[in-house]
Structures are given as C-alpha cells and as structure tokens.
Amino acid sequence: MPERRFLIVRLGSLGDIIHTLPAAAALRDSFPWAQIDWVVESKWRAVLEGNKDLNCVISFDRRQIARVVETVAQLRAAKYSSALDFQSLYKSALLAFLSGAEERLGFDREYAREGLATVLYTRRIHPTGVHKVEHNLALAVAAGAALPAVARFTLPESAEAGEWVDEKLRELGAGDFYVVSPGGGWRSKCWPAERYGALHREISNRMGLRGIVSFGPGEEKLAEAVVVAAGSDTFTPLAMDLPRLMALLRRAKFCVAADTGPLHLASALGTPVVGLFGPTDPARNGPYGGSSIVVRKAEAGETTYKRGASYSAAMLRIEISDVLPAIDRLLERA
C-alpha cells in the first residue's frame, strides 16, 4: 500500500484543538509510518509543538497574504493523500481543497457550521456519538483509523515553561494551589469577575489554598477585577503564554472555569476541573475524560451556540453555593 500522507485542518480555537487531539492520536496509532501534518493558526501553534503524533505543524495566518501563499505552497508540495477538515468553515475547507489532496474529508452539511463549505469535500461524514471528541474521532475513522478504546491527548511539556512555573510558585510560596480562568471569547459563556472573587474568599477560608488567575492577551482588566473582588493577597494574576499555562495547569490541585480553552486544556492534562456551563451543552462540549464535575442551571430552550456579548441568564444563575459543593465532590474523588 502506498504511504499515507494526512493533513489535519483545525485552525482554532484552543478548546476545539484540544478536542481534535484524540483524532490525531488515532491516526498515528493506526498508521505508525504515515506522514501526519496539522495546519493551525499561528497563535495556537504552541499547543501542538513537540507532539509525537505529528510530523509537522504548519502555521497559518490569514491576515498576511504572503504567508498564506507560502502556506498553500507548502501544503501542495507535501502531496497529501487525505486532508481532514475538522472545522467545517469556508476558510478551513478551502485550505483542504487548495492542499491538492486527492481525498478531502469533512462533516456533512447538516452538521457543518458553514454548510456550503462541504461542496469542497470529496467525502462527507455525519458524525456518531455525542461529544465533539467522538465526532472528531468519527472523521478519523472514516479516513481509515481504528476507533481507540480510550481517547488519548498528547500534550508534552516544555522544559523552559516548567522551570518558569516552578520558579514563580517558589516566589509565591505556593504549596497546593488552584487555578481559575475567567476569560473567554464569548461573554455569554463567562461567569462574572466578582463571583470568582467571592469564590476565592470561601476557598481560602475553608481550604487555605492559594488561587492563581490565568488570563490571556486583552484580559488584564478582567483578571484585575477578579483579584480586587477577592480582596485577598492569596489570589495572584499570572499572564502566561500557552506552554507556561500548560505547565501551571499540570501542577494545579484543580481548575475552575467556564466553557473556554483553559478548562478543556486542564482536563486533557489530567487536572481535576469544575466546569461552569450556561448556553452550551456539556454533553457535547464539556470536559472529556479525567476527573470533572459540571455545574449548569440552564433552563429549557437556553442551549445555543450563538455568540453573546453579555452575561447569559444561564451563567448568572450559577451561585457560589453551587460551585463550592462541586469542588468538595471533585476533591473527594481525587
């Protein structure tokens, strides 16, 4: 049989990339000698670097036309036998098409986020299962991979990042600690800053744990608001790149966050998590594998995947008194 050459197209975002990792692992386990490359937006590249399931990580930046042309030329030169589009958007389907791969697999029009993008595929798959991880595995199986008994998330640690985090923890005098991640791309999926602050006061009083607030670019004011709301010197904001965030989450006792990338990253790393869910369905988009508890108080008809610019009623129904017992149950399990 000719050598298989696979191109994975999943440009972003962080949580979606995490949920695609088991599909890449299934391809590698089924085709040990295959070429398996992944094209991803430049800002998420660090999540994939050092991943032994991949031969090459290819950066994509649609804002720089010259770079786009270079990326397409690199894809075409690889002569892929199969391109798998896990994103089902016009831009991702077009990249799969422009790669020149003889076979282009994607989800069918009923499932795809941008249905017309499916005309660029040679094969269209209606996924099985409930969770996004299972949907992505269905696409890998359609490409010839065997369905794994257990989903595998490959997330190697950078030595530099680990050393940086260890030094920061020494500076803080932190023994056991936990992480909150209050940010997110959709405000409607987020929990208010003042509630994270109030949650820390309770955790600090009851458990004596230091809290660390992780935040990304543009979220500095949000992190500051969380710390101010806590009114405690045991709640520390830390700005980190992705490798350092991964190293921090690995060392955390647990993580509390809404349906955002850091929650799914923590879960994939094996860190116990409490997920706060509002408009999105945790059966489809929740933490996968590992030790996790989900808090959700959405009412009938409130499940939606449309971006919202303000806090949703479903998220505002979640009180501190809902989250603390979830943390207790999580730690009892651990």
Q: Exposure pattern of 295-319 as b/e (b: 16+ CB <10 Å)?
A: bbbbeeeebeeeeeeeebebbeebe
Question: Hey, which residues does 276 pair with through a beta bridge?
Answer: 258, 295
Backbone angles phi, psi at 100, to 5 degrees: 80, 10
Start-to-end CA span in the chain (Å) = 46
CA distances from 236 to 205, 228, 273, 275, 311 (A): 16, 10, 19, 21, 24
Backbone angles phi, psi at 103, to 5 degrees: -115, 130
Looking at residue 41, what is its pLDDT? 97
Note down pLDDT in tens along the chain; length 334 residues: 468 999 999 999 999 999 999 999 999 999 999 999 999 999 999 999 999 999 999 999 988 888 999 999 999 999 999 999 999 999 999 999 999 999 999 999 999 999 999 999 999 999 999 999 999 999 999 999 999 999 999 999 999 999 999 999 999 998 899 999 999 888 999 999 999 999 999 999 999 999 999 998 999 999 999 999 999 999 999 999 999 999 999 999 999 999 999 999 999 999 999 999 999 999 999 999 889 999 999 999 999 999 999 999 999 999 999 999 999 999 998 7
CA nearest neighbour of 179 among 122, 244, 262: 262
Backbone angles phi, psi at 36, to 5 degrees: -130, 110
Contact 222, 185 (CB under 8 A): no
Q: What is the 3-state secondary structure (H, E, C) of the chain?
A: CCCCEEEEECCCCHHHHHHHHHHHHHHHHHCCCCEEEEEEEHHHHHHHCCCCCCCEEEEECCCCHHHHHHHHHHHHHHCCCEEEECCCCHHHHHHHHHCCCCEEEEECCCCCCCHHHHHHCCEEECCCCCCHHHHHHHHHHHCCCCCCCCCCCCCCCCHHHHHHHHHHHHHHCCCCEEEEECCCCCHHHCCCHHHHHHHHHHHHHHHCCEEEEEECCCCHHHHHHHHHHHCCCCEEEEECCHHHHHHHHHHCCCEEEECCHHHHHHHHCCCCEEEEECCCCHHHHCCCCCCEEEEECCCCCCCCCCCCCCCCHHHHCCCHHHHHHHHHHHHHHC
Question: Hey, which residues does 215 pair with through a beta bridge?
Answer: 239
Looking at residue 65, what is its pLDDT? 81
Residues in Cβ contact with 224 at an 8 Å cutoff, skipping those fewer than 6 apart: 237
Looking at residue 62, what is its pLDDT? 86
Looking at residue 21, what is its pLDDT? 98
Looking at residue 96, what is its pLDDT? 98
Provide the greatest CA pair distance for the chain: 64
What is the residue whose two structure tokens read 């490959």? 154
Contact 15, 86 (CB under 8 A): no
CA distances from 109 to 87, 114, 126 (A): 12, 8, 9
Q: How far apart are CA 25 and CA 175, in angstroms?
A: 34
